[in-house]
């Protein structure tokens, strides 16, 4: 199984901050890496697919990069509605696996 490791597991930030979350895969997954945002009591929401493609309707302050084993999600200027938990997910092979999540709070 491909293990996905996110860091940090949590971070505190302020509105307007630039935030970076990293995700590392235990083996080469090329660019088959996706990012989701989840708020309490809600379903996950797709933000970025195939490492760097912005899902339709998602703010351009979200961006993704990386390939192989190392990936990054960046929020360029944190907004109040961005306080949430973020998950990476590899779509390279089954079993599909997620990172442990990064909680962004104030």
Rule CB under 8 A: which residues touch other proteins?
29-30, 32, 34, 36, 38, 42-46, 49-50, 55, 87, 89, 91-101
Strand partners for 19: 75
Cα angle 103, 54, 17 (rounded to 5 degrees) comes to 45
Q: Please, which residue, 17 or 22, has the CB nearer to other proteins?
A: 22
Q: How far is the CB of 94 from other proteins (least distance, A)?
A: 5
Q: How far is the CB of 99 from other proteins (least distance, A)?
A: 7
Q: How far is the CB of 53 from other proteins (least distance, A)?
A: 9
Cα angle 68, 2, 4 (rounded to 5 degrees) comes to 75
Q: Please, which residue, 17 or 92, has the CB nearer to other proteins?
A: 92
Q: Please, which residue, 34 or 75, has the CB nearer to other proteins?
A: 34
Q: How far is the CB of 71 from other proteins (least distance, A)?
A: 14
Q: 47: buried, middle or exposed (CB in 10 Å: 19+, 13-18, 0-12)?
A: buried
Say if strands 102-105 and 19-25 run parallel, antiparallel, or are unpaired.
Answer: unpaired
């Amino acid at each position: 199984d491909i293990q996905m490791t996110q860091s940090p597991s949590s971070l505190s930030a302020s509105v307007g901050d630039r935030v970076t979350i990293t995700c590392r895969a235990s083996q080469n997954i090329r660019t088959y890496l996706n990012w989701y945002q989840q708020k309490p009591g809600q379903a996950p929401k797709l933000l970025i697919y195939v490492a760097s493609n912005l899902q339709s309707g998602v703010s351009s302050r979200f961006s993704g990069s990386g390939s192989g084993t190392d990936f990054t999600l960046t929020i360029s200027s944190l907004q109040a509605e961005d306080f949430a938990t973020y998950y990476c997910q590899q779509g390279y092979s089954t079993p599909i696996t997620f990172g442990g999540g990064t909680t962004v709070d104030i």
